Amino acid sequence: MRTRTFTTRSEEETIALAAQLAREWTPPCCVVLAGNLGAGKTTFAKGVAEGLGAAKADDISSPTFALIHEHGEGLLYHVDLYRLDTEAEAASLGLEEILARPAIVLIEWAERFPRLLPEQRIEIRIEPGPDGSRRIHVTEIP
């Protein structure tokens, strides 16, 4: 297991870092985005989409109500489990099928249903600072 920690000082820096990291990932790849409400998970997702060439940052929004957004004709899936209450609800989304596709799958609030996650994944924890900065911990779980 390897963890790298980065600090960004603006939304633009967070997007740029996420784009850089996304270019390092090889599909299929599960990426868990963790952090409190407002930590910057969707901002990070914007950078991933740009880095993969799946969508422009302005076209990315939180899938809180839709639960799953697909970008770049299946290149990127952005999943939000915040509104789900049970593991059965989360499993009914077809996560297992999505995770098997040759895509990058970003999952917000996945820590609520850890048994649904593949063993091999990347976990990204975002911690906002009082000055608007963000500490971003990237852990690769082999």
Give pLDDT tens digits for 33-73.
Answer: 999 988 999 999 999 999 998 877 777 777 665 688 888 88
Give pLDDT tens digits for 93-123.
Answer: 888 899 999 999 999 999 999 999 999 999 9
For residue 58, CA distances in Å to 27, 42, 115, 132 come to: 23, 11, 33, 20
User: Does the pTM exceed 0.85?
Assistant: yes
Domain of residue 72 covers: 2-141
pLDDT confidence of residue 59: 77
Residue 65 to residue 82: CA distance in whole angstroms: 9
The tally of domains found in the chain comes to: 1
What contacts 79, CB < 8 A, 6 or more positions away?
63, 67, 68, 93, 95, 98, 105, 106, 107, 108, 110
pLDDT for 16 beyond 90: yes
What contacts 108, CB < 8 A, 6 or more positions away?
33, 41, 42, 45, 62, 63, 78, 79, 80, 81, 82
Average pLDDT, the chain: 91
pLDDT confidence of residue 63: 65
Could you tell me which residue, 126 or 59, shows the higher pLDDT? 126
pLDDT confidence of residue 46: 94
pLDDT confidence of residue 68: 86
Q: What is the CATH number of the domain that holds 127?
A: 3.40.50.300
Give pLDDT tens digits for 63-79.
Answer: 665 688 888 888 999 99
